[in-house]
Structures are given as C-alpha cells and as structure tokens.
Amino acid sequence: MFVDKAKITIKAGDGGDGAVSFRREKYISAGGPDGGDGGKGGDIVFLVDDNFSTLIDFKYKKKYVADNGENGGPKNCFGKSAKDLIIKVPRGTVIKEAKTGRIMADLSGNEPVVLARGGKGGKGNANFATATRQIPRFAKPGLPGEEFEVILELKLIADVGLVGFPNVGKSTLISVVSSAKPKIANYHFTTLTPVLGVVSIEEGKSFVMADIPGLIEGASEGIGLGHEFLRHVERCRLIVHVLDVSGVEGRNPIDDFEIINAELKNFSEDLSKCPQIVAGNKCDMATGEQIEELRKYIESKGYKFFPISAATTQGTSELIYEISQVLDTLPPVKIYEPEPITIAQDDVNNKSFEVEVEDGIYYVDAKWLAPIIRTVNMDDYSSLQYFQRVLRNSGIIDKLLEMGIQENDTVNILGFEFEFIN
C-alpha cells in the first residue's frame, strides 16, 4: 500500500527534576546542600532512510514519545539525560505543524533534523545556596519537552514529472528510457502509485523521472486517483506532458492538454508556471495530419513538441536529449525552508504570568513561553529582538518595571536567566 500522507503526534521527553539533598557524613555536623540537576529529556529526531518509500508505518502508529531525563540525586549527582528518539522517513518527506500549517522541516538531505526538543533538567538545591540562604529546601522541576501534532507529506524528489490522462503511455515511456519497471496494461489507472526511474544520458550524467498516476478532469478537486499525487509533481524541475496524439481513446489531445494544465493551475499556481515539454505519444498509430495539427497548436502556445512512440522507442532519444539540455538551465530540485514560529498578538496578550522576587532575582512563571525560549538564539540580534517584543507585548516587562527592577538585575524565566536591559 502506498501511503504518502499521515498525521502523528510527537512528544519530546521532559527534563528530570532537580534534587533536594544535604550532605550527611560522619563528623560533619552541618553539611551543605548537594542536590544534583536533573537530566535532559530525549529529543525527537527525524532521519532520512532510503529503504523507505512510503509512510505506511505511520498509518498504524500515531504517537511517538521520547524518554524523560532522570531526576538529580544526592552528592551532586546529575540525572542521566535520555536518549533521543529517532524516527526514519522516506527521502522527500515534508513535515508541517498540523495546527498552523507551517513547514517545520524538509527531509530531503542526509542530516538528522530535531523536530521536538527535550526539556532541560531542573536545577538541584546546590545551585541555590547563597550567603544569606544556606539551606535551600527547594529545587527546580525539569522543563516539559516540546509536543506537536504534525502532518507528514511525501513529495517525491524527481527532476522530471510525467503528467497526462490515464493510458496515454507514461508508464511505457519511463520503462523504455530508464530501468523502472511499472505495471503496464491497456486500461485506465494501471499506475496506482508514483514510479521513479533514473535516466542515464552519458557516464556521470543522469536525471530522475517520475511517472505520476493519470490525471482526469477535476483531479485538483479530489476526483479520480491523480489528485492524491499532484503533490509529487510540485518538486519537479520540468514537466513532460504526455498526450495521445492518435486519439484511440476517443479523446481530443488538444482538449486533454488544456484540461490537465487547468488542473495543474488549480492545484498550485507555481506548478502551472513550471517549464513544460509536450510529448505526442502513439504517433505510430496516428496520421501525419493528426501529428501536424497537434504540433501547430502546441507550438502556438510556446511549448516544444516531440512526436514519439514509446512502444517502439521512436523519437524517445530526441526527447530525452532535449530534457537533459533543458534541465542544465534550470535551478535544482525545490527544497522547502522551515518557517519560523509566529505568535499572534491576541495570543500573546491573553497569556497569563506571575512574577516573584527572591534574593534579588525576578522569577517569571509563564509556561507558554517555554517553546519560545527554546528557539531564542542569544548570539542572534533579530532573535533577541523578537524575544524582547514578546515580553513587552505580553506585559511582562511592564510588570518587572512596576516591581522596581533595575538595569542588570537578573531575570529567571523557566530556568532561563539573563540580565535585564530596558
């Protein structure tokens, strides 16, 4: 079964709690605090595995949870950090946050991608001893790990996508120009899953071609099978539009050309602008008049036209050479960039928080800030500006000023400490 879309929940591990402990040793009557920090929770890591070609595993298992970090122990023993949970997916998997639709990652390369970060371990009471507070009887709990409901979408990585109505000869074409062996039969919807084939031009030069299941009118609205696979054409650098020039199916190839292009445009405006070459297949069964009529129409629309017969390989070499030449002029396969987390103004203003002062440190309790803090890069100016805007828009800075905070005083937000600068 070919599954190219799935929704799952991922939950990184929580950080372990800090320990409250005091030294108890012979001849030492007043041992100090020695509670250790908790360990970090495990991350959720996605990794490409080329042994996978479908998302079928995610159809049956819907929740993936990493282990929590261990709690801290006495004698300043740190809790053990949990192992990361590695989830393997096919190359070309795009991961989106289900709630917002933002792109979180594009698993097209070989580098592992951390999608949900484990919570930091809490501080043990040994960290809170001061000259005026020598017996701290408290520790900090570990931070919760990130949790997301995500949508996995497999978008095949191919240089060329073959599109067209069912039974126009796309599968036959890819079978004769590459080593791919798709199922071929003389009935509609023989191809039920996209098929990839590598087309070799010369030594050291090749490209990947994808046979996309046949489209029909209304495919972009969910009619037929092709609408399930239009997403696989989105990455393609070049579209080869295969038409049945002979009309043996009782359809007009000119009408087919317009219908399929309309479906591509309805599905994606960008897809309609993708470079396109038209292959008039089954020319061995067509008259010269049929071929010339279609050629004139296609060329009048600004596209190159190649009459071919995939069954006899007539004209396929010329077509493949042209595809290779065009690909040399095109940018690489599209890679989707991760989109940053954005928080609506109303959402920020509706978040509650509490501020307490202890030993000159301003502790801000605002759990909704946890995912934002994890994304803050202290070495990046724009990241710090964004964090400052969130604090100001939520009223936290105003509250700190109201409580008398001064320049360079310490602010602690969920274990994240920094000096206050207004």
Residue with tokens 């990046």: 380
pLDDT tens per residue, range 145-183:
999 999 999 887 889 988 888 888 888 999 888 876 655
Q: Which residues contact 233 (CB under 8 A, 6 or more apart)?
A: 161, 163, 210, 212, 239, 264, 271, 274
59-73, 133-147, 280-294, 373-387: the lowest-pLDDT one: 373-387
pLDDT tens per residue, range 32-63:
888 899 999 999 999 999 888 888 889 889 99
Burial of 179 (0-12, 13-18, 19+ CB in 10 A): exposed
Report DSSP state, residue 278.
Answer: E
Tokens describing residue 276: 């396109």
Out of 2.70.210.12, 3.20.20.70, 3.40.50.300, 3.40.718.10, select the CATH number for domain 1-153. 2.70.210.12
Q: What is the CATH number of domain 160-327?
A: 3.40.50.300
End-to-end CA distance of the chain: 58
Tokens describing residue 74: 């006495």
C-alpha span between 120 and 118 (Å, rounded): 7
Listed residue (115, 7, 107) closest to 61, CA to CA: 7
99-108, 272-281, 282-291, 382-391: the lowest-pLDDT one: 382-391
Confidence of residue 374 (pLDDT cuts 50, 70, 90): low
From-to residues of CATH 2.70.210.12 in the chain: 1-153
Residue with tokens 């393609």: 236
C-alpha span between 354 and 387 (Å, rounded): 18
Confidence of residue 192 (pLDDT cuts 50, 70, 90): low
Q: What pLDDT, on the 0 to 100 scale, is given for residue 220? A: 46
Domain 343-422 belongs in CATH node 3.30.300.350:
yes
Asked if 33 contacts 106 with a C-beta cutoff of 8 angstroms, the reply is no
Mean pLDDT of 28-34: 73
Given a cut of 50, whether residue 242 has pLDDT beyond it is yes
From-to residues of CATH 3.40.50.300 in the chain: 160-327
| Residues of the chain above pLDDT 90, percent | 38
Q: What pLDDT, on the 0 to 100 scale, is given for residue 194? A: 74
Calculate the average pLDDT of the chain. 84
Q: What pLDDT, on the 0 to 100 scale, is given for residue 77? A: 92
pLDDT tens per residue, range 55-89:
888 988 999 999 999 999 998 899 999 999 999 99
C-alpha span between 354 and 363 (Å, rounded): 8
Alpha carbon 368 to chain centroid distance?
24
Report DSSP state, residue 255.
Answer: H
Report DSSP state, residue 175.
Answer: H
C-alpha span between 302 and 392 (Å, rounded): 55
C-alpha span between 260 and 274 (Å, rounded): 13
From-to residues of CATH 3.30.300.350 in the chain: 343-422
Q: What pLDDT, on the 0 to 100 scale, is given for residue 223? A: 47
Q: What pLDDT, on the 0 to 100 scale, is given for residue 386? A: 72
